[in-house]
Amino acid sequence: MSKRLKIAALAGDGIGPEVMAEALKVLRAASKKFAFEIEVNEAPVGWAGIDASGKALPDATLAACKASDSILFGSVGLPDRDPTIPRDQRPERAALLRLRKEFSLFANLRPVKLPKALAHACPLAPQRQGDGIDILVVRELTGGIYFGQPKSIQDIGNGQQRATDTMVYTTAEIERIAEVSFRAAQQRRKKLTSIDKANVLENGALWRDVVTRVAKKYPDVTLEHMLVDNAAMQLVLRPTQFDVVLCENMFGDILSDEAAALAGSLGMVPSASLGATSGEQTFGFYEPAGGTAPDIAGKNLANPIAQIISAALMLRFSFKLNDAANAIEAAVEKVINAGLRTGDIYNPADNSARKVGTREIGDAIAAAV
């Protein structure tokens, strides 16, 4: 019997519905070719959720997610919508952070790939791009300074205040994200760069110790440690030295965006946030790195590739359908090599390139699968 995948598809706001439609089109093409079935449950989230039932994460949407094996997410948030709605009820917090917490998504994987054909879109000089950039940033997502207690702003007299954030990591939290990173490195070029601030932070010293210990289980992977300030510099000086980059939460937040800039457009960068694995299946949340792009929404201008590759990551990480995931990634590469470009990656000086819309590039990728 063929595998049946239960997917909650939450398109969200802005360009979300446009890019989600293309990702579902490509998934359906892959399901035909690789003989698996998909059961897609589409549900509103973000302002679409507020419009539908008064909440950024409607109860029915959360129920649909819980009844699914993974979530394919678009993006949420429209900065100009109703300023009277308080921050904790706005989509970014009430939907996105809530879902991350609800499903204990502790590992964020962001592959950043700059194909040679898109060298013009990268902000780095061509000699720094080598044969193309291909980095996987793994970010710990549920610990560290964003969540540690105490966390407060206190009045300390004389009109002064004091802000406190606390950085906390336990051995177990570091071990589980290190395991995810080493396993990912085994599937790639077998090099892991672990980022810390071991020269100043106790957290950094523990991080380095634990990662070094976990590395003993993965003798085929080469481990190196790098201080975060140097890593920020190396990413722009010599990005081709990196394969998998492992970071705690805040360092990963910053470095993953720096790395994303190397791919030339947010429309090219997917991400996977993984929770616990039970048996064959890992619950995952898959979304483009970019936001709702209100400036281009509803105009057939958005690049759907980040959403389409997010769907490929879902097949790989949640459902172990590696052949189908590889086929989608190869189809994206083929279409780019054939010269099709949405506006964000189009170079008017390139005579072989042709500017197309969201739907056209989605059709071409689905056909290439």
Which residues in this chain contact ligand NAD in the complex, by CB under 6 A?
15, 19, 75-79, 92, 96, 265-267, 287, 290-296, 302-303, 306, 344
- The residue type at 328: I
Q: Report, in Å, the least distance between residue 75 CB and ligand NAD.
A: 3
Rounded CA-CA distance 288/290 in Å is 5
Q: Are 203 and 192 in contact (CB under 8 A)?
A: no
Rounded CA-CA distance 29/295 in Å is 30
Q: Report, in Å, the least distance between residue 244 CB and ligand NAD.
A: 22
Catalytic residue, chosen from 51, 59, 88, 229, is 229
Q: Report, in Å, the least distance between residue 116 CB and ligand NAD.
A: 20
Residue nearest ligand NAD, CB atom distance: 291
User: Which string of b and e fits 194-204 if b means at least 16 CB within 10 Å?
Assistant: bbbbbeebebb
- The residue type at 252: G
Taking the least distance from each CB to ligand NAD, the nearer of 204 and 252 is 252
Q: Quick one: tokens of 147? A: 């969540």
Catalytic residue, chosen from 3, 6, 69, 146, is 146
Query: What is residue 39's three-state secondary structure?
Result: strand
Q: Report, in Å, the least distance between residue 287 CB and ligand NAD.
A: 6
Taking the least distance from each CB to ligand NAD, the nearer of 179 and 360 is 360
Q: Are 332 and 308 in contact (CB under 8 A)?
A: yes
Check if 197 is active-site: yes
Taking the least distance from each CB to ligand NAD, the nearer of 204 and 304 is 304
Taking the least distance from each CB to ligand NAD, the nearer of 65 and 214 is 65
Q: Report, in Å, the least distance between residue 178 CB and ligand NAD.
A: 25
Catalytic residue, chosen from 191, 253, 334, 355, is 253
Taking Cα atoms as reference points, which of 89, 88, 92, 97 lies closest to residue 79? 92
Check if 146 is active-site: yes
DSSP string, 278-304: ETTEEEEEEEESS---TTTTTTT-S--
Taking the least distance from each CB to ligand NAD, the nearer of 283 and 286 is 286
Rounded CA-CA distance 263/274 in Å is 22
Q: Active-site residue numbers? A: 146, 197, 229, 253, 257
